[in-house]
Chains A and B, each alone.
Chain A
């Protein structure tokens, strides 16, 4: 069964450093998403991406964050200058067919630790 994959599974970085989290969505999906979950808290929406542009973003997704689909398979989340409070599990998700009602399938997540 097709699945969303994410790399790395765990990323440790120093405060102020840039990180890039990578995702490979399900191959025929059209919509891509990033969410994050701070330890012990609820999953929070960051951004949705369709047709090579951001469809929607939350207030969390400020100028320090960017997303890119550099080729036909990868979808990346970049944090330019990490802060301690960026430590969280970051989940990529994808959905197909372009309908809002479609199921979002999540990857296993990347645990980001900012020291």
Chain B
């Protein structure tokens, strides 16, 4: 698998349901960030979680990080139609400044 690979690739849910997206990576990281991208638009930062953290919350968002499994998950609770977007994880590797983005999960929330 590639560094920063999300699954599922696409997810369709009803408004009010929870959405869970997963990200896996291969090498040691400094931190992991989740971004949202509406179609053809810019990247909106959601949450940064550092390698020594296990869980973070921000509003309806909950991110977990399991460094032993090299994986992270993003949970959006009580989803809304406005949450429809692509969601990307980006990992910062030890010793570098760059972030490597995953392929993204396309979330569609049906009203």
Contact = CB atoms under 8 A, between A and B. Distances in A.
A33 to B, nearest CB: 7
State the majority secondary structure of interface residues on A.
strand
Contact of A42 (B40, B41, B50, B104): B104
B88 A106 contact: no
Contact of B92 (A89, A100, A107): A100
Contact-size category for A = 20 to 34
Interface stretch (A48-56, A63-71, A77-85): A48-56
Interface size on B, as a range, is 20 to 34
Given A45-B100, A58-B98, 5 more contacts: A42-B101, A42-B103, A107-B42, A109-B42, A111-B40
Which secondary structure dominates where chain B touches chain A?
A: strand
Nearest to A111: B40
A31 interface: yes
Nearest to B88: A43
Given A43-B88, A100-B30, A101-B92, A108 B101 contact: no
A56 B98 contact: yes
B50 A101 contact: yes
The 4 A-B pairs with the shortest beta carbon distances in the complex, nearest first, are A108-B42, A43-B101, A45-B98, A48-B97
A46 to B, nearest CB: 9
Contact of A106 (B42, B48, B103, B104): B42
16 contacts: A35-B99, A35-B101, A42-B102, A43-B43, A43-B88, A44-B101, A45-B98, A45-B100, A45-B101, A48-B97, A56-B96, A101-B48, A101-B50, A104-B33, A104-B90, A108-B42
